[in-house]
Amino acid sequence: MDLVFQYIQLGITSVFEGPEGGLTLLPVFMVLIGVLTGVLIGAIPGMSGPFAMAIALPILVSIFGYGNDALYPVLGCLLGIMKGATVGGAVPAILFRTPGTPDAFLTTLDGYPMAAKGHARKAIQTAHFSSVLGDNFSDLALFIAAPAIALTVERILGLPEKSALIILSLCFMAAVVGKAPLKGLLGGLLGMFVSLIGSAMSGNGPRLTMGMPELGNGLPLTSAVLGVLVISEVLVSMEDIRNNCDDASSSDGKRPEMGPRLTWVERTAMLPGILRGASIGTLIGSLPGIGTTTAATLSYDSAKRASKTPEAFGTGVPAGVVATESANSAVSGANLIPVMSLGIPGNSAAVFIILAVETIGDFAFGPQVFQFTPIREIEGFDTILNAGLVTAFGIFTMMMIANFWNWTFGAMLMGVLGHLAKIPKSVMLPVILMVSLTAAYTQDGGYLGLLTASVFALIGYVLRRLDVSILPFVIGFLLAPTLEVLVRGAFTASGGDPFFLLKSPIALVMLALSVFLLGRMVVQARKT
Amino acid sequence: MRKILTMGAALSLLAAPALAEWNPDGPIRLWIGYGAGGGTDVQGRTLAKEIEALRGWKVLPENKAGEDGTVMSAQLKGEEPDGQTLGFAITTTYDFAPMNSDNLSPEDFTYVTTTAGSQMAVLARAESGWETLDDLKAAADAGEELVWANWGTQVEAGAEIVARALDIDVNHLRTKGGRGALNALVSMDANVGWGGGVQKPLVEAGELNILASAETSPVALAPEKPTLQDVGIDLNLGYQYIITGPAGMPDEIRDEIAAVVAEILNNPDSETRQFIEKQYPPAPILTSGDELRSQVMTTYEANVNMMEALAE
Amino acid sequence: MENEAREGQGGSWNLWLGLGVLGFVALCLTVWFPQDIGSGFMQKNLTGRTVPGDAFFPVLLVGLMVPLAILLVFSQLRPRPGASGEPVGHVGAGNLVFLIQVILLTGMSIVLMNLTGPAVVWLTNKAGLTAFSGYRAASATFPFNVSGFVAGGFLLICGFIRLTCRRLSLLHVLVALGVVLMLVLVFDILLENVHLPPNADL
């Protein structure tokens, strides 16, 4: 136990320690920048946390570089954006009934009526209070669950089990995301396939490059993800605005009456509701692929069922705002559980956290991070410890710092946000497009990056228009290289046994589960 | 007349070697054959900065990663050999990789200069208790299954040569890059592997042991450990970091660039030199011009022979 | 409203997607993989052991696509009573027109990015202000290095605002200019070692 505290202490100090050992506040400052950006971005309709993270990542990397010293500032800023955005989305939802982020949609149900009744300030403060508290709750779950899962997993998983685990998570994701699991899974396979373009492992030169030597190292990762997640969404929104000739954000946004503040008595009364919402959000968030919207919906329904006056929901009761905001914010921390313990991203925000870690420095997510190597100091030499574990606790520390900023500056900023909703989306989107393309060019090898982003944007556009969910495609794209190494390694290590994945009972169970999920999808596809 | 002119030129060269013979027309692009953030990248970028400071040449580093520099080289060979597009990779890129490639040949490039050398070593986890190759053999003879982590065909062939010399059986695990090999070792997916230099922190932390050096002399981290050649295995997997250009670069441009690099790396205050001393000890390795070219060609032939011998 | 109109057509998209995937798989297995992958499904390594080759994983992946695509097709061809197969959206002629506009606009902006720099260098050379041997020689000199980016980026933002709003006001033009200059400030002036288009491709 002593060792655990030693590592936690080292992790906390590592955030404040500069490269030369002196005190640095850079990571703390970058977290603040991130939180403020996140709150602002969250409040702009059409923008969301992952959007801002996608655009910020290449810019941050250009500023701080790829060295180990860059990890904390860059990751701190991204974590700040992620957390800030969950808070900011509620403001326009409450004031103008236009949710800033998709997951704030349900907040309009009770938040807007509250504002209409002249309790806008109360509604915003309720949203802030339950959102930040829910977020903190799920962070706590992350801090406990991630090391525990990692330790268990590392002890029992070899190459075949690790392969089976990735297959299972992909199947699970395809099954739960969107209404069309078969196509989701096909998208996942396609994503995996395109990630194989380029480098090969057996030294016979690059594969599937269609004669382009530039592709020899594979498609540039950040550009591809930027294209399929962000630019495609921009294109779809632009087309919708063009066709509907309306601009949702420029609606008759008259600022409603702010009204009185939220009292501490009222806050205390909210605690049970927040706890329920946060628990639901955390549970949902820890499973890959199920998003914030599902969490908010479930939480809202359960709050309604538990309420003595369910008919009041939707007419402007604080309990409704509490239910949705605590749940959708609790998703963000819990989403990092599979990321930090297994290296498997579960939603788009997590995708960018993983991308940042992969791009910068030596640190990488995975079960190996949580090995509690005894700390030994050798005279005249160096200290022996697991540096990855220190970094992990450093990341936890930055999340706590982000929470602190969310409590303080986040609350202040939310109060003055109302005006932001007036930036028209039709101008915002082209600007996002330009910034994304520039970022793709500067970070990922010139026109190769830009073209990759464009092609992936087209793929994403078609998938979105066909109502196929994008997430399996992205996750497949990110995980396939790891999976290939694992599968090839497991196959070779088994001495060429064609049933190499079925030899271990754990892998067998996971694969059986995958098959079960597949079967369920098929049945579902035939029924609907 | 002409003779006098050449003599004069030769004299002035002797008198003032620092006087620039050649100056680029616009910026020089330095294509780094590895991803951003790695050791090669840092070395290339600091060198670029110092060349700029020394000569006022604008040097723009760009990363073109993939397959140990071959992805970059495949693009480099089509460029203008005017000294304004240079590549930064390792000698293996040119003296081994072209063997398996349809579109690369050692003849496609001008070899400017080397900068530093590797610290190739055989590694094992400390907890395995193996200290030497003999321990490895003893473990294999006792029935332990050996998985050897390799990042490329050349080192895999090297592993096989070592295994055959020790008369043991190993399974080869192919990893992504040198770091991948280390990860495989640490996460126990392999129990023996190669390290080219990235192993330093892990060896210093006592996580990994060096069993033998695969250079022509012992590695700096474990000077007491023998080389493979010491124990009777004729294998040298050492490689150097190298600056190249497309084939056909005029000699004066090639030599001028090599001279600038040498001037920087010979200066004890140079940031690049200090980086090399720390990362690729003990000191920079500067081979350039025709000598470097013949080194690459000879090693290439030796490597071809090695692979043919293995295939038999 | 629009969603309801889609429902009817939706099903055939499942059919086309399924058939398209099958066609793609066939193309991969017969043409692309054999020509573009250096080692086979399995290969012999140096020890003479058979190990997975570079085609191993790709073949596995496209192989897995086949049953899914067939299911997609069959659930469409022979749906149970009252079922219409998996929900699906559609890509219509209107979408294609929009996409073509997007591609043309992006392409034109990129061409402008590439041409402006050399054009400016040619002009200043003609005017006797500079004596560069070409754009390449000037590609690290302000303002030549950012001229292409400013022109192309400006066109891109203006074009897309026009495309989205169907109109372009003076304010929009100013916003576009401001954003491009902002990007130049961030990427070219504040940051080192970052190449704005087209300077990483010379």
Segment A285-326, tens digit of pLDDT:
888 877 788 888 999 999 999 888 888 998 989 999 999 999
Inter-chain residue contact C72 with A182, CB threshold 8 Å = yes
Q: What pLDDT shows up at residue B17?
A: 45
- Say if B231 falls within a structural domain: no
- Closest among A45, A100, A138, A180 to A470, alpha carbons compared: A180
Q: Which residues contact B132 (CB under 8 A, 6 or more apart)?
A: B211, B212, B225, B226
- Say if B228 falls within a structural domain: no
Residues in chain A: 528
Taking one residue from A and the other from C, the number of pairs with CB-CB distance under 8 angstroms is: 209
Among A217, A445, A489, beta carbon nearest to B189: A489
Query: What's the mean pLDDT when you consider all of chain B?
Result: 87
Q: In what order do the strands lie in the sheet with B146-150?
A: B170-174, B146-150, B192-195, B121-125, B208-213
Judged against a pLDDT cut of 50, whether residue B267 lies above it is answered with yes
* B257 and B202 fall within a common domain: no
Which residues of B are less than 8 Å from A216 in CB distance? 66-67, 70-71, 74
Among C14, C39, C161, beta carbon nearest to A427: C161
Give the CB-side neighbour count of residue B270, counting CA atoms within 13 A.
Answer: 26
* CA–CA min distance B26, chain C (Å): 4
Inter-chain residue contact C86 with A182, CB threshold 8 Å = yes
* B145 and B92 fall within a common domain: no
pLDDT band at residue A249 under the 50/70/90 scheme:
very low
Chain C contact for A493, CB < 8 A? Answer: no
* B152 and B206 fall within a common domain: yes
DSSP string, A7-64: HHHHHHHHHHB-TTSSB--HHHHHHHHHHHHHHHHHHSTT--HHHHHHHHHHHHHHHH
Judged against a pLDDT cut of 50, whether residue A130 lies above it is answered with yes
Apex A453 CA angle, A450 and A456, nearest 5:
150
Mean local confidence (pLDDT), A8-25? 86
Inter-chain residue contact A447 with C198, CB threshold 8 Å = yes
Which residues of A are less than 8 Å from B64 in CB distance? 214, 217, 445
In C25-54, the residues whose Cβ lies within 8 Å of chain A are 32-33, 36-39, 43, 49-54
Evaluate whether B53 touches B263 at the Cβ level (below 8 Å): no
Chain C contact for B45, CB < 8 A? Answer: yes
In B55-74, the residues whose Cβ lies within 8 Å of chain C are 58, 60-62
Chain A contact for C89, CB < 8 A? Answer: yes
Burial of residue C141 (CB within 10 Å: 0-12, 13-18, 19+) is middle
Evaluate whether A486 touches A199 at the Cβ level (below 8 Å): no
Longest dimension (CA), chain A: 73
- Say if B20 falls within a structural domain: no
Shortest CA distance from A208: residue in chain C? C36
pLDDT band at residue A377 under the 50/70/90 scheme:
low
Mean local confidence (pLDDT), B139-148? 91
List helix spans (H) across C33-169: 33-36, 56-77, 93-126, 135-138, 144-165
What CATH number is associated with residue B145? 3.40.190.10
| pLDDT digits 0-9 by tens, C16-41 | 899 999 999 999 999 999 988 878 88
Q: What pLDDT shows up at residue B87?
A: 96
DSSP string, A347-389: SHHHHHHHHHHHHSSS---SGGGG--PPPEE-TTS-EE--HHH
* B175 and B109 fall within a common domain: no
Shortest CA distance from A203: residue in chain B? B153
**Tokens 């002119």, located at residue:** B5
* B46 and B101 fall within a common domain: yes
| pLDDT digits 0-9 by tens, A378-425 | 554 456 677 888 999 999 999 999 999 999 998 888 877 766 656 788
Q: What pLDDT shows up at residue B132?
A: 93
List helix spans (H) across A466-504: 471-493
Judged against a pLDDT cut of 70, whether residue C1 lies above it is answered with no
Which residues of B are less than 8 Å from C200 in CB distance? 62
Judged against a pLDDT cut of 60, whether residue B13 lies above it is answered with no
CA distance C53 to B121: 27
Chain B contact for C137, CB < 8 A? Answer: yes
| pLDDT digits 0-9 by tens, A149-183 | 888 887 777 788 888 988 888 888 888 877 788 88
Segment among A70-74, A175-179, A486-490 with least mean pLDDT: A175-179
Chain B contact for C191, CB < 8 A? Answer: no
Burial of residue A260 (CB within 10 Å: 0-12, 13-18, 19+) is exposed
Mean local confidence (pLDDT), A141-151? 90
Among B35, B97, B173, beta carbon nearest to A489: B173
Structure tokens at B106: 């050692």
Contact partners for chain A, using 3 or more CB pairs closer than 8 A, are B, C
Evaluate whether A56 touches A106 at the Cβ level (below 8 Å): no
Inter-chain residue contact A447 with C110, CB threshold 8 Å = yes
Evaluate whether B65 touches A211 at the Cβ level (below 8 Å): no
- Say if B101 falls within a structural domain: yes
Residue B201 belongs to domain spanning: 121-213
- Say if B221 falls within a structural domain: no
**Tokens 């590609």, located at residue:** C139
CA distance A365 to A265: 42
Shortest CA distance from A488: residue in chain C? C52
Q: Which of A63-72, B229-238, B257-266, C161-170 has the highest mean pLDDT?
A: B257-266
Which residues of B are less than 8 Å from A359 in CB distance? 36-37
* CA–CA min distance C128, chain B (Å): 18
- Say if B273 falls within a structural domain: yes
* Cα separations in angstroms, B49 against B54, B56, B156, B158, B195: 9, 10, 36, 36, 28
Among C46, C133, C195, beta carbon nearest to B160: C46
Q: In what order do the strands lie in the sheet with B109-117?
A: B59-63, B28-32, B85-90, B240-246, B109-117
Task: Count the neighbouring beta carbons within 10 Å of the beta carbon of residue A140.
Answer: 14
Structure tokens at B288: 């350039």
Evaluate whether A48 touches A332 at the Cβ level (below 8 Å): no
Considering chain C, what percentage of its residues have pLDDT values greater than 90? 50
- Say if B233 falls within a structural domain: no
Selected residue of A66, A386, A479 to mutate for chain B interface (largest B Cβ count, 10 A): A66
Backbone angles phi, psi at B30, to 5 degrees: -105, 105
In A503-522, the residues whose Cβ lies within 8 Å of chain C are 522
Structure tokens at A204: 């016979």
Taking one residue from A and the other from B, the number of pairs with CB-CB distance under 8 angstroms is: 91
B107 vs A103, residue with greater confidence: B107
Which residues of B are less than 8 Å from C202 in CB distance? 29
Task: Count the neighbouring beta carbons within 10 Å of the beta carbon of residue C93.
Answer: 7
Inter-chain residue contact A66 with B205, CB threshold 8 Å = no
Inter-chain residue contact B153 with A203, CB threshold 8 Å = yes
Q: What pLDDT shows up at residue C5?
A: 41
- Closest among A501, A34, A451, A497 to A219, alpha carbons compared: A451
Is residue B142 classed as helix, strand or coil in its secondary structure?
coil
Query: What's the mean pLDDT when you consider all of chain A?
Result: 86
**Tokens 């509490």, located at residue:** A322
Q: Domains in chain B: how many in total?
A: 2
Q: What pLDDT shows up at residue B253?
A: 94
Mean local confidence (pLDDT), B39-60? 92
Evaluate whether A165 touches A157 at the Cβ level (below 8 Å): yes
- C-alpha radius of gyration, chain C, whole number: 26
Q: What pLDDT shows up at residue B187?
A: 74
Judged against a pLDDT cut of 80, whether residue A497 lies above it is answered with no
Q: What pLDDT shows up at residue B32?
A: 93
**Tokens 């982000």, located at residue:** A402
Q: What pLDDT shows up at residue B173?
A: 83
Burial of residue C62 (CB within 10 Å: 0-12, 13-18, 19+) is buried
Q: What pLDDT shows up at residue B1?
A: 45
Q: What pLDDT shows up at residue A420?
A: 62
Which residues of C are less than 8 Å from B163 in CB distance? 47
Which residues of B are less than 8 Å from C54 in CB distance? none
Burial of residue B311 (CB within 10 Å: 0-12, 13-18, 19+) is exposed
- Which residues of chain B approach chain A closer than 8 Å at the C-beta? 35-37, 41-42, 62-67, 70-71, 74-75, 97, 100-103, 147, 152-153, 156, 171-176, 179-180, 183-184, 186-187, 189, 204-207
Give the CB-side neighbour count of residue B48, counting CA atoms within 13 A.
Answer: 25
Considering chain A, what percentage of its residues have pLDDT values greater than 70? 94
| pLDDT digits 0-9 by tens, C154-188 | 999 999 999 998 889 999 999 999 999 999 998 88
CA distance A486 to A162: 7
Judged against a pLDDT cut of 60, whether residue A234 lies above it is answered with yes
* B35 and B183 fall within a common domain: no
* B253 and B288 fall within a common domain: yes
Which of residues B213, B248, B271 is at a domain's end? B213
* B100 and B154 fall within a common domain: no
Q: What pLDDT shows up at residue C77?
A: 78
Inter-chain residue contact A435 with C179, CB threshold 8 Å = yes
DSSP A228: I
Judged against a pLDDT cut of 70, whether residue B12 lies above it is answered with no
Shortest CA distance from C44: residue in chain B? B311
Which of residues B161, B178, B213 is at a domain's end? B213
Mean local confidence (pLDDT), C106-117? 96
Among A65, A205, A359, beta carbon nearest to B101: A205
Residue type, A199: S
Apex B9 CA angle, B6 and B13, nearest 5:
140
Strands B28-32 and B59-63: parallel
Strands B121-125 and B109-117: unpaired
Task: Count the neighbouring beta carbons within 10 Å of the beta carbon of residue B146.
Answer: 20
| pLDDT digits 0-9 by tens, B152-183 | 888 988 999 999 999 998 888 888 778 778 87
Longest dimension (CA), chain B: 79
* B107 and B252 fall within a common domain: yes
Handedness of CA C140, C144, C150, C151 (dihedral sign): negative
pLDDT band at residue A255 under the 50/70/90 scheme:
low
Q: What pLDDT shows up at residue A382?
A: 55
Evaluate whether B87 touches B73 at the Cβ level (below 8 Å): yes
Mean local confidence (pLDDT), C86-104? 91
* B128 and B104 fall within a common domain: no
